[in-house]
Every structure is written in C-alpha cells, then in structure tokens.
Amino acid sequence: PAIIRAERVEKYYSQPSENRIQVISPTDLSIVQGEIIALLGPSGSGKSTLLRMLTGLSTPSAGQVYWHEAPIQSADVNVSIVFQSFALFPWLTVLENIEAPLKARGVDAATRRKRSLKILDTVGLDGFQAAYPKELSGGMRQRVGFARALVVEPEVLFMDEPFSALDVLTAENLRSELLELWHKKTIPTKSIFIVTHNIEEAVLLADRIIVLGRNPGHIRTDFRVNLAHP
C-alpha cells in the first residue's frame, strides 16, 4: 500500500499570451514504506514542481495526489522537507531550530526538549545545541536541517538537493552517514524521497530511481537499483 500516490498528475502554468507551459505531463508514481527513491533530472525538468505536488504544497493542474488513499488536500499529512539552502532560522539556536516544528504542532516543552536532544545526538550534533547557525559549517548546518526535519518523525522524508550546497567531501560524508543510519533503522521515517540532478548520488542512495525528462517533464524511466548496499 502506498503512503503517497500520484495519479495522472500534471502541472501547467498559464502565460499572459494564453499559451500554457506544461511543466509535468501526466505522471503516476507511488511511494511505499521502506524505500529510498531518487527523483533524477536536469535543472528545469520539473523536479521541485513534482515534489511540491507530492507533499501537498501545490495543487496539480490535473490528476490527484493521495495520502494513504485519501485526497491529499484533506488529509493529515506528515512529511518533512530538507532544503538545499538549509532554511534555518538564524535568530534561533540549533536546539531551538530543531524544536521549532514541534512547537508549531503544540508539543509541550519537556517533550520537545527530550525529542530534540535525542535527534540531535542521532545526527552527530551533540555539544552544538547552544550554537547559532552562522557559527556552523555548511555540513553542520545541514545536519541541523536533517534533525529539524526528522524530529517530527515524518512518514516520508523529502529532500530537495540536500547536498548540492556542500563541498564534495562534506557531501560524501553526510551521504554515507545518512545511508548508514537508514540501514540501521535509526532514522525516524518510513521512506526517503530525494530530488537530485546528480546521477552518482541517485545510484549510491536509492533503491529506485525515477528519471524525469524535459520538454515537458515526464517520467522517462522508473527502475530499481540492483546494487547490494554495503
């Protein structure tokens, strides 16, 4: 059974000239429990557009996205998104950043603290809770980004080019740590959906790769990666 399922979703944007720009042509896809999916495609192929529709942030022009088989717009969706740019609150400490989504959900202070400290430890940030984002390296900031996304225990963790703003070595380290945590089942999420333009990253991380073509964005290939994970 799918956690999220897209049925014939399309996205087009209207132009003043009345020409429609088709960004996603009719697309079907499912996200099920226990898989890492990579959405691979060149810049401008519609990856972010598809991600926004799969998370309920944007409404398809046609078709429907389902959350546990209910229309996503009226469902109680539990997903998180990690962004390329980290998108941390600069005026909040590391711990306060991680607590923020729990605060927004009305979780009490003691529980917030407990859950945030636990996830902080998981992503290797212990000792940094009182630091501010500007005092951290890019890699450490993205660890905060991961922690903030994971603290709500999302059913699906979405990531939009999460390693693209990092230098090669830092990206490599974070990627393999993520994979290790995933295989040890220490990441509190059921599935990971990662948007990337990096083929190597897709092959290294994903169980399944969806390739989005351009002009207009449509699924060219959807295949399972038959590599045994280390």
Instruction: Give the C-alpha separation, 181 to 125, whole Å.
Output: 14
**b/e string for 140-154 if b means 16 or more Cβ within 10 A?**
bbbbbbbbbbbbbeb
Length of the chain: 230
On the question of a cis peptide bond just before residue 230, with omega within 30 degrees of 0, the verdict is no
Q: Report, in Å, the least distance between residue 62 CB and ligand ADP.
A: 12
Which residue type, as a one-letter code, is found at position 76? D
Contact status: 41 vs ligand ADP (CB under 6 A):
yes
Pick 136 or 206: Cβ nearer ligand ADP: 206
Q: Report, in Å, the least distance between residue 159 CB and ligand ADP.
A: 13
Stretch that binds ligand ADP, among 51-59, 76-84, 91-99, 176-184 (CB under 6 A): 51-59
In which element (H, E) is residue 168 found? helix 168-183
Contact status: 48 vs ligand ADP (CB under 6 A):
yes
Contact status: 101 vs ligand ADP (CB under 6 A):
no
Structure tokens at 63: 């078709």
Instruction: Give the C-alpha separation, 56 to 126, whole Å.
Output: 33
Identify whether the C-beta of residue 77 lies closer than 8 Å to the C-beta of residue 67: yes
Contact status: 58 vs ligand ADP (CB under 6 A):
yes
Structure tokens at 25: 């042509």
Please tell me whether residue 56 adopts helix, strand or coil conformation.
coil
Q: Report, in Å, the least distance between residue 86 CB and ligand ADP.
A: 17
Please tell me whether residue 214 adopts helix, strand or coil conformation.
coil
Binds ligand ADP by CB under 6 A, chosen from 4, 9, 23, 29: 23
Q: Report, in Å, the least distance between residue 28 CB and ligand ADP.
A: 18
Contact status: 72 vs ligand ADP (CB under 6 A):
no
Binds ligand ADP by CB under 6 A, chosen from 25, 36, 52, 143: 52
Q: Report, in Å, the least distance between residue 190 CB and ligand ADP.
A: 24
Contact status: 59 vs ligand ADP (CB under 6 A):
yes
Pick 57 or 204: Cβ nearer ligand ADP: 57
Pick 56 or 124: Cβ nearer ligand ADP: 56
Return the number of other C-beta atoms located less than 10 Å from residue 189's C-beta.
20
- Asked whether the CA dihedral 133, 149, 63, 7 is positive or negative, the reply is positive
Binds ligand ADP by CB under 6 A, chosen from 4, 5, 9, 46: 46
Summarize as ranges the residues that interact with ligand ADP (CB under 6 A): 13, 23, 41, 43-49, 52, 58-59
